[in-house]
Structure 1
Amino acid sequence: MSVNATLPPLPPAWRTRLALYLDLIRWNRPAGWLLLLWPTLSALWLAAGGWPGWHLLLVFVGGTILMRSAGCCVNDVADRDFDRHVKRTAQRPVTSGRLSVREALLVGAALALLAFALVLTTHPAAVAWSFAALAVAVFYPYTKRFFAMPQAVLGVAFSFGIPMAFAAVRGEVPALAWALLVANLFWVLAYDTEYAMVDRDDDLRIGIRTSAITLGRWDVAAVLAFYVLHLVLWTWLVWPLAGGPWLAAGVALAAAQVVWHAWLIRHRTREGCFAAFRRNHWLGASLFAGVVLQLALGGAA
């Protein structure tokens, strides 16, 4: 066979199916898994006191992407009867009927198993905590039916990489890891309330509960308060491990982005709120960069 030969193209039916699977897991929208990745990697660096090694880095990057993708499958199955009434989500593969519920769940289960296989290569403590992480991720989509602030449950689900990172590095989950989870939860409350503000009118009509609805006219003020609580708690908790000018610069850059978000959501427009949500991963990236640079170049305080 010639070295220049290429593999035959996929049959049209296979290409269509692959496109549906990629749409199901939001492959073309990486902002979702980046929101999970940055605090997880920050925790990994903090737990290791610096570079954690290629093995753990690849495990947590791959596991984060896989579990976020699996979560999308579960979420779309749970919300399929609601999503068809929302313009932004009506054409999702499960909602539109282009993928069956069974098929979506099989894809989600396969992705979750791949993530579990990665975790199995780490410490048994991380393996044990992975079951709790999966339970919270599966439970979250159904809280929109009865809980006034389902974003708080999402905050736990999206922050579980923090205790798992400490478990993988140290073989235990110290109190600091749980405190960092709480700090990160406030960030999730901030950006997912912005997300909920996009669909507030549709959610009110179909009866879904969200933080944007619960907070009402205090939504913008609450989002900013959540951001401030996140930055204050995160800085206070991280400073003893990685305090210094680089961390301070990362926090300052994140704070500047909060001001920008306040400007974007001030009129509660769909476009402004969605733009703010989609750019939140840069805030997490700023905090991660502060941790990495401080540990690599400046040392701990």
Structure 2
Amino acid sequence: MTTAAPAAPGPAQPSRLALYLQLIRWDRPAGWLLLLWPTLSALWIAADGWPGWHLLAVFTLGTVLMRSAGCCVNDVADREFDRHVQRTAQRPVTTGAVSVKEALLLGAALSLVSFGLVLTTNPPAILLSFAALAVAIAYPFAKRVLAMPQAVLGIAFSFGIPMAFAAALGGAEWNLRAVPLSAWALLVANLFWVLAYDTEYAMVDRDDDLRIGVRSSAIALGRWDVAGIMLFYAAYLAAWGGLGLRLGLGRWFLAGMACAAAQALWHFTLIRRRSRAECFKAFRANHWLGFAVFVGTVADLALR
């Protein structure tokens, strides 16, 4: 009499921690780096140099936490769309591995920790944090009604700039007079960079988005997508560079901007054929462009 061989064990199921880390894109730091570099550049400009360990820690940790919280909200809002998109079909909320309630609770917890960090700064920064949260929550739903929802994302991803100025320059009063117009101008300039790299990102999903009815800048621009991206890059570089010069930055800052411009030109060689893989590569490399601007800013303020 023979006995059947025991069945081979199935693949191990990921732990709750592993699923939560997947939900907040812990293995993809490019997302929070895209927020971090312009925020830190603004922090150095506002402080006219080294901002101190406290503000550096607040804005670095706060950026990571809020980006992670945003992923939770985005995946809940887009779960029905994501199942039809090749790139997003295996996200934990989409597959049901993480429930909607779990994702929202995790997002809320991360947001509360981030708010706790903001509470250690000053009233103007605290006031701006409410507006930043509102814009971040609104973005996932903007793609249902706006032709270019990336503009809303651009505001959300740039809100660390006026918050950095508020934290560095604000006092104890509950008003925003401490935030100069230059901070808001830098926000607008940075918005063009977000439009550039998130349109590259949208080009990856364009076919899926057209099929399921999701709007994006890649769809809105149509055959002018590549030209539009390069114009967005040019607007960002010109506006941020001009504002930096008006704020007293000099040759090292311009060297950083030149490195950023060279990277933008390289991105053109990646996206011009509209290959999904190459467009995604261009998007993921964008944090190096922001890093070049940050290094140029820090060097200029340190070596003046």
Same-fold status (TM-score > 0.5)? yes
Cα drift, residue 240 of structure 1: 2.6
Which residue of 1 is the match for residue 210 of structure 2? 204
The answer to whether the Cα contact below 8 Å between 1:242 and 1:295 also exists between their aligned partners in 2 is no
Matched, 1:66 2:65: yes
Counterpart of 2:276, as a letter, is: R
Matched, 1:271 2:277: yes
Which residue of 1 is the match for residue 9 of structure 2? none
Which residue of 1 is the match for residue 30 of structure 2? 31
Map 1:126-205; keep pairs closer than 5 Å.
Answer: 126-171=125-170, 172-205=178-211
Matched, 1:44 2:43: yes
Match of 1:294 among 277, 280, 300: 300
Match of 1:214 among 210, 220, 238: 220
Distance 2:249 2:119 in 1: 33
Instruction: Give percent identity, aligned residues only.
Output: 71
- 4+ residue stretches of structure 1 with deviation over 4 A? none
Cα drift, residue 181 of structure 1: 0.2
Distance 1:127 1:244 in 2: 32
Q: Structure 1: where are the runs of 5+ without partners?
A: 1-11
- SS of equivalent to 2:26: coil
Cα drift, residue 77 of structure 1: 0.3
Larger Rg: 2
Which residue of 2 is the match for residue 244 of structure 1? 250
Which residue of 2 is the match for residue 285 of structure 1? 291
Cα drift, residue 243 of structure 1: 2.3
Distance 1:38 1:63 in 2: 13
Partner deviation per Cα, 1:239-258 (whole Å, 9 max, x = no partner): 13342221111011000001
The answer to whether the Cα contact below 8 Å between 1:31 and 1:281 also exists between their aligned partners in 2 is yes
Distance 2:27 2:215 in 1: 27
Partner deviation per Cα, 1:182-241 (whole Å, 9 max, x = no partner): 000000000000000000000000000000000000000000000000000001101133
**Number of equivalenced pairs:** 286
- SS of equivalent to 1:145: coil
Distance 2:76 2:225 in 1: 28
Distance 1:213 1:42 in 2: 32
Distance 2:251 2:236 in 1: 19
Aligned-residue Cα RMSD (Å) equals: 0.9
Distance 2:291 2:249 in 1: 17
The answer to whether the Cα contact below 8 Å between 1:40 and 1:162 also exists between their aligned partners in 2 is yes
Matched, 1:85 2:84: yes
- SS of equivalent to 1:88: coil
Which residue of 2 is the match for residue 259 of structure 1? 265
Distance 1:243 1:63 in 2: 26
- SS of equivalent to 1:95: helix
The answer to whether the Cα contact below 8 Å between 1:183 and 1:230 also exists between their aligned partners in 2 is yes
Distance 1:156 1:259 in 2: 24
Q: Structure 2: where are the runs of 5+ without partners?
A: 1-11, 171-177
The answer to whether the Cα contact below 8 Å between 1:119 and 1:127 also exists between their aligned partners in 2 is yes
Map 1:106-117; keep pairs closer than 5 Å.
Answer: 106-117=105-116
Cα drift, residue 266 of structure 1: 0.6
Cα drift, residue 297 of structure 1: 0.5
The answer to whether the Cα contact below 8 Å between 1:126 and 1:167 also exists between their aligned partners in 2 is yes
